[in-house]
Amino acid sequence: MTLDSPFVLVDLDHEPSPELWPGATGAAGRVLVGLAEKPAEADGDFDILLTAAPDPPRPWVSCADPYATAHRLAEIVSDRPAASVALTQVLRMGPSLAPTDRLVVESLAYSTLQASAVFRAWLDLAPARTPRPSPAPVRLSREGDRLTVTLDRPQARNAMDAGTRDALCEALEVAVADPSITRVDLYGNGPAFCAGGDLSEFGTARDPAQAHLVRVRRSPATLLQLCGDRVTAHLHGACVGAGIELTAFAGRVLASPDTVIRLPEVGMGLIPGAGGTASLPLRVGRERTAYLALSGEALSVEEALRWGLVDEVVEGD
């Protein structure tokens, strides 16, 4: 059965058709985008709000040509309907769920999409990558009440493979278990803070249900929910996927001027799976999170600062 595109655009500067408004029959299975020349009061049911106005208030996203941006989003949603709808559904549910449950729902959706034909097709087209595991992918040091955690796979731009994930969990478990640690500094060694999930491992888990169990049991995001108020994340270079999803839980996020942020998962037929649907909305709202994830576009450090995804830009941090 062929379904129509789930993308719905509402021009808020004109009177829309009633059947297009959020809350209408079938809206739960659609991606609802509102558009206006200037920011206006919206009822909170839109997944993304676009405007031509510069530096608009949250939840609006500023773009030079909102209609062109909406057209690009419509193409993405039409090309990746399952991932696009799953993303917006998970984001909509977030505010009504307990923090840990948000991660469970994200993982369930992510695991479902791992079994999709779209993701398998992306895997078939992706170039083969050789795994480059590290015997010590995370370095840990302590000085007084300060714990320093450093991702240390510079040869892979600190991409998050299973070994790095497990080592990061072990490091964060130290902070969670020891209340005398009052500050945790999180760094990435090399040219990038974290280039996201290690693509050499994508698709290697052939059982999505088992992958879901591993994801929720070995979850850096869950630990960051417990100790994030003590964490200062120091970003630089590429902060892709997990690189921003995890650090958005930090109580303070510092970024060097070369920091570039991106959520590329929808383009693969997936959604953010390292906690991003739980962490980013806390800082920028679910609408801007949906825009970042659906568009896949890079967010500059200046825009990240304006949005509140970054707290301070620091030269040479």
Q: Exposed, middle or buried, 196 (CB in 10 Å: 0-12/13-18/19+)?
A: buried
| Strands ordered across the beta sheet of 61-62 | 7-11, 31-36, 48-51, 61-62
Rounded Cα distance, 279 and 97, in Å: 13
User: pLDDT tens, position by position, for the chain (317 residues)?
Assistant: 345 789 999 999 886 555 555 555 557 789 999 999 999 877 678 999 999 999 999 999 999 999 999 999 999 999 999 999 999 999 999 999 999 999 999 999 999 999 999 999 999 988 888 888 889 999 999 999 999 999 999 999 999 999 999 999 999 999 999 999 999 999 999 999 999 999 888 767 778 888 899 999 999 999 999 999 999 999 999 999 999 999 999 999 999 999 999 999 999 999 999 999 999 999 999 999 999 999 999 999 999 999 999 999 998 76
Q: What is the CATH number of domain 99-313?
A: 3.90.226.10
- Which of 63, 9, 1 minimizes the C-alpha distance to 33? 9
Residues 6 or more apart whose CB falls under 8 angstroms from that of 303 comprise: none
Q: Where are the domains of the chain?
A: 7-79, 99-313
pTM of the model: 0.94
The predicted-structure confidence for 24-83, as pLDDT tens digits, reads as follows 555 778 999 999 999 987 767 899 999 999 999 999 999 999 999 999 999 999 999 999
